[in-house]
């Protein structure tokens, strides 16, 4: 009898080995390409007498920045200038996310309204601004709207709000001697309000009786405010009203045309995508949930608040995170209207120093950090709304 002999499969034909080989080969090619480009860049810099490094950031910037949150002068270093650009980027991104979310939810819900006029206006708003390039919208807001406003000598005002081609001036809040104590007392009141909300809500679920958790939470804040007034004998802040003194605004807070254009452009553009995300999330809730709410006698707004939105939010959050990330990255278009964000300030420094690789690397790291932090926060928020499997 002839014995059966086991034939081993060659490794280049083994289906378990081939994927590993291909992935290893691809990784080697990527690493070699990266090394080639880095080596080529360093050699190019060496030939023009530039060495890679970040010591130049200690030098004086020698250029002014018009819109700053933190103190800055041209005598400050490049690091300080980049920090100003970073804070300006944060300002646009944070305010943009807040306003775009509010408008997006309103428009998204309005698109599903039973009122024909509201539904039509929301649809027209979404289709027009969603299908127009963001850069074009920003340029229109800057050149066709804000720059065309009257000169400051001929400014227009609606109550305490002033409009001119130098920007808008609005009433603002100023800290006073009691602001710190107010902040501490209100923080305690907020924590107490959250605790009362949770405890009263839990009791309402267990007993079936209305325990008024919202009223208890508001009461906690009111008591904290009364205590703060008794301690400080003043309010939490002072209100400063703007006025015109010659060719400048005095008091209040000035919104420059560059900031206003980039903020409005980002908010309107992003809100249209958020509106579609909200609309899709609401439509993703089973119709049986709405019909059951109607059968219980719940009105439309009550059904939306307590039945539809709590379920829709689980669908909304993941794509909403993508829109937040897009808004943060799109804020770099501020350079088109001269707003001194990180990209604009970095471009000015690049023109002065020629340090392209270092500055581009800084910008990439900053935007990557912003995106990762936003994703982490939204993932934590999303985990709070996910269904718990039994």
Task: Return the pLDDT at 168.
Answer: 87
Closest among 379, 367, 322 to 97, alpha carbons compared: 322
CATH code for the domain in which residue 115 is found: 1.10.3720.10
- 216 pLDDT exceeds 80? yes
Q: Are residues 341 and 265 part of one domain?
A: yes
Q: Are residues 263 and 131 part of one domain?
A: yes
pTM of the model: 0.83
Q: Are residues 365 and 234 part of one domain?
A: no
Question: Confidence class of residue 75 from pLDDT cuts 50, 70 and 90?
Answer: very high
Per residue in 186-209, pLDDT (tens digit) is 999 999 999 988 888 888 777 777
Question: Confidence class of residue 1 from pLDDT cuts 50, 70 and 90?
Answer: very low
Average the pLDDT over each of 45-49, 284-288, 349-353 and give the range with the smallest value: 45-49
Domain with 36, as residue range(s), is: 24-53
Asked if the structure places residue 250 within a domain, the reply is no
Asked if the structure places residue 124 within a domain, the reply is yes
Task: Return the pLDDT at 324.
Answer: 95
- 84 pLDDT exceeds 90? yes
More confident of the two residues 172 and 28: 28
- 3 pLDDT exceeds 60? no
Q: Are residues 264 and 373 part of one domain?
A: yes
Q: Give me the count of residues in the chain.
A: 390
Task: Return the pLDDT at 245.
Answer: 80
Question: Confidence class of residue 77 from pLDDT cuts 50, 70 and 90?
Answer: very high
Question: Confidence class of residue 226 from pLDDT cuts 50, 70 and 90?
Answer: very high
Asked if the structure places residue 330 within a domain, the reply is yes
- 129 pLDDT exceeds 80? yes
- 389 pLDDT exceeds 60? no
- Contacts of 208 by beta carbon, 8 Å cutoff, 6+ apart: none
- 12 pLDDT exceeds 80? no
Average the pLDDT over each of 39-48, 86-95, 167-176, 222-231 and give the range with the smallest value: 39-48
Asked if the structure places residue 224 within a domain, the reply is yes
CA 80 to chain centre: 23
Q: Are residues 354 and 283 part of one domain?
A: yes
For 163, the enclosing helix (H) or strand (E) is strand 161-164
Q: Are residues 373 and 295 part of one domain?
A: yes
- 330 pLDDT exceeds 90? yes
Average the pLDDT over each of 79-83, 94-98, 167-171, 258-262 and give the range with the smallest value: 167-171
Sign of the torsion formed by the C-alpha atoms of 136, 137, 143 and 144: positive
Q: Are residues 371 and 290 part of one domain?
A: yes
What is the token pair recorded at 131? 């299908």
- 335 pLDDT exceeds 70? yes
Mean pLDDT for the stretch of residues 71-81: 92
Asked if the structure places residue 201 within a domain, the reply is yes
Q: Give dist(CA 257, CA 265) in Å, integer.
A: 12
Average pLDDT over the chain, rounded to whole?
Answer: 88
Q: Give dist(CA 332, CA 364) in Å, integer.
A: 11
Closest among 96, 97, 122 to 279, alpha carbons compared: 122
Q: Are residues 45 and 108 part of one domain?
A: no
Asked if the structure places residue 161 within a domain, the reply is no
Task: Return the pLDDT at 368.
Answer: 94
Q: Give dist(CA 343, CA 350) in Å, integer.
A: 10
Average the pLDDT over each of 87-96, 252-261, 292-301 and give the range with the smallest value: 292-301
Mean pLDDT for the stretch of residues 110-122: 92
- 224 pLDDT exceeds 50? yes
Q: Are residues 119 and 206 part of one domain?
A: no
Q: Are residues 116 and 43 part of one domain?
A: no
Task: Return the pLDDT at 390.
Answer: 47
Task: Return the pLDDT at 265.
Answer: 95
- 2 pLDDT exceeds 70? no
Q: Are residues 194 and 101 part of one domain?
A: no
CA atoms within 13 A on the CB side of 15: 0
Asked if the structure places residue 267 within a domain, the reply is yes
Asked if the structure places residue 58 within a domain, the reply is no
C-beta of residue 377 within 8 angstroms of C-beta of residue 369:
no
Q: Are residues 300 and 205 part of one domain?
A: no
Mean pLDDT for the stretch of residues 53-82: 90
Mean pLDDT for the stretch of residues 51-71: 88
Per residue in 131-175, pLDDT (tens digit) is 999 999 999 999 999 999 888 888 888 888 888 888 888 888 888
Q: Give the number of domains in the chain.
A: 3
């Amino acid at each position: 009898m002839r014995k059966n002999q086991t034939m081993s499969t060659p490794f280049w034909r083994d289906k378990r080995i081939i994927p590993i080989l291909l992935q290893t080969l691809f990784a080697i090619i990527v690493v070699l390409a990266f090394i080639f480009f880095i080596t080529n860049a360093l050699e190019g810099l060496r030939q023009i007498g530039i060495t890679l490094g970040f010591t130049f950031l200690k030098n004086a910037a020698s250029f002014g920045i018009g819109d700053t949150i933190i103190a800055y002068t041209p005598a400050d270093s490049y690091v300080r200038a980049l920090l100003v650009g970073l804070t300006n980027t944060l300002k646009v991104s944070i305010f943009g996310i807040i306003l775009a979310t509010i408008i997006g939810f309103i428009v998204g819900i309005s698109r599903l309204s039973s009122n024909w006029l509201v539904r039509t206006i929301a649809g027209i708003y979404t289709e027009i601004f969603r299908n127009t390039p963001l850069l074009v919208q920003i340029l229109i807001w800057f050149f066709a709207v804000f720059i065309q406003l009257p000169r400051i000598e001929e400014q227009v005002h609606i109550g305490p709000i002033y409009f001119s081609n130098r920007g808008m001036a609005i009433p603002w809040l100023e800290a006073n001697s009691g602001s710190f104590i107010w902040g501490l007392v209100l923080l305690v009141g907020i924590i107490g309000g959250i605790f009362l909300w949770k405890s009263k809500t839990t009791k309402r679920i267990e007993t079936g009786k209305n325990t008024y958790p919202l009223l208890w939470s508001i009461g906690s804040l009111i008591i904290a405010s009364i205590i703060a007034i008794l301690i400080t004998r003043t309010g939490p802040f002072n209100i400063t009203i703007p006025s015109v003194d010659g060719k400048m605004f005095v008091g209040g807070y000035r919104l420059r045309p560059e900031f206003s254009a980039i903020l409005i452009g980002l908010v309107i553009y992003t809100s249209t995508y958020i509106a579609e995300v909200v609309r899709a999330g609401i439509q993703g809730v089973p119709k049986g949930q709405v019909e059951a709410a109607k059968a219980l006698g719940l009105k439309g707004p009550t059904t939306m608040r307590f039945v539809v939105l709590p379920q829709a939010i689980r669908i909304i959050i993941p794509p909403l995170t993508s829109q937040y990330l897009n808004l943060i990255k799109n804020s770099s278009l501020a350079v088109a209207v001269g707003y001194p964000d990180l990209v604009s300030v970095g471009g000015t420094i690049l023109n002065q120093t020629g340090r392209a690789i270092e500055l581009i690397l800084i910008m990439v790291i900053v935007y990557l950090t912003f995106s990762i932090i936003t994703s982490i926060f939204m993932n934590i928020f999303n985990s709070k709304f996910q269904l718990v499997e039994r």
